[in-house]
Amino acid sequence: MTQQTPTHDVHIIGGGLAGSEAAWQLAKRGFQVRLSEMRGAPADKGGEMTAAHQTDGLAEMVCSNSFRSDDHERNAVGLLHHEMRRLDSLIMRAGEKARVPAGSAMAVDRDVFSQEVERELQAHPNITIVRERIDTLPDSGPTIVATGPLTAASLADSIVKATGQDRLAFFDAIAPIVHRDSIDMDICWFQSRWDKPSAGGGSGNDYINCAMDKQQYAAFHQGLLDAEKTEFKEWEENTPYFEACMPIEVMASRGIDTLRYGPMKPVGLDNPHDRTPEFPQGRWAHAVVQLRQDNKLGTLWNMVGFQTKMKYGAQVELFRTIPGLQNAEFARLGGMHRNTFLNSPLVLDRQMRLKDAPHIRFAGQITGCEGYVESASVGLLTGMMTAAQIAGEDWTPPPATSAMGALLSHITGDAEADTYQPMNVNFGLFPPMHDVKKKQRKEAYTDRGKTEFGKWLNALEAVPA
């Protein structure tokens, strides 16, 4: 870490959506902010363009131009939009000015959007934008690191040294995640292989199992080989994935039975739906897909070993052929791409501070959230947390029943650290409402979220309700 001369109250590293939002939230509360962005910096300041960015504009949207659904009555990301607007989000404000037609979704002209964010930040007297590359974490002083999924190598090395957790891997191997209440348990069953409890003290029924016979498996295997795949981006082409993170379709290409000796092995799993006098406990299937609980609430389950480069539509079509998943609703689909993110449940506290260096907070995609608005919302919360700490005020997080609170809870402790992966906001992160009929749950989640978020705002006296 390096020592910075304190000419500001807070140093923010990274001028993407999260860093820009954090700067805005701090500045409007009267704090002096130094916002460092390496894009656009002169050579002697370490100027560097990432492989994904096209400009040096702040808050550049490098992929889609969509903030996704703006429906705050039935949609988790729409609820997140609603909450951010109530907190005077710069990202949402700029998004409205740059908005283009997109039906019920919110999409923007990405150039107008970036220009509007930068204009607002440049105009604020409490914000100093400095074009410079920061190579190491500061030794002291309130700092927010919001450098995103393509963090510069030198700073990434510094983060690894500070966290002791090498989570800045070459590839983010993502397995699909399924909403628990969309799994057909009349077909599936709970069981751990050989009924062995997990190391964490499980019951021996820690997995949901989906059985396939020989014909079903053969069709599924062929489907993996035939499915349309996503090509690596240019900057990913020379980045090898690890053998332990092999895409399932690559494993399938190695032979018809490779998966049956890998993630789909059936041994030790007695299908109770296939009992006979000879096998009163149930017989072993030809192949089995296992799902493992992904969050503490038990609402989300990931498909073990199913990281993939298949296109999203192909994934949904093929994975719904798995017995028991015919009506599966996916909180996240699988993927493999270069990404930089922390194992946040292990290394960050509940206020996004690095446990071993609490003057440093992290924000945005590097914390393990996916999506533009999710990234910006974490930047917003981190700005608010930092402002409260500097002012000597107590900080109360938004309720876990709100979109912002649910996402924060996932990042800082509710997710399982061993399987932690980047996540979009979705209702699977919210405390479940089992007493509400499934068809009414989306409205129930948003109604409850709005009510309790409003109470939190009133108590916080941040924005009049």
204 is in an annotated binding site: no
41 is in an annotated binding site: no
Alpha-carbon gap, residue 171 to 151, rounded angstroms: 13
392 is in an annotated binding site: no
380 is in an annotated binding site: no
Measured CA to CA in angstroms, residue 259 lies from 105, 193, 266, 388 at distances of: 39, 16, 10, 52
40 is in an annotated binding site: no
Place of tokens 């002791």: 164
For residue 151, which amino acid is it? T
Alpha-carbon gap, residue 179 to 208, rounded angstroms: 12
Cα dihedral 200, 201, 204, 205, rounded to 10, equals: -70
Alpha-carbon gap, residue 83 to 449, rounded angstroms: 9
User: What is the DSSP annotation of 168-231?
Assistant: --S-EEE--EEEGGGS-TTT-EE--GGGPPPTTT--S--EEEEEE-HHHHHHHHHHHHHS-BPP
- Which tokens hold the place of 161? 């040294």
324 is in an annotated binding site: no
- Which tokens hold the place of 31? 């704090």
- Which tokens hold the place of 189? 């069953």
Tell me the binding residues for FAD: 14-19
Binding residue numbers: 14-19
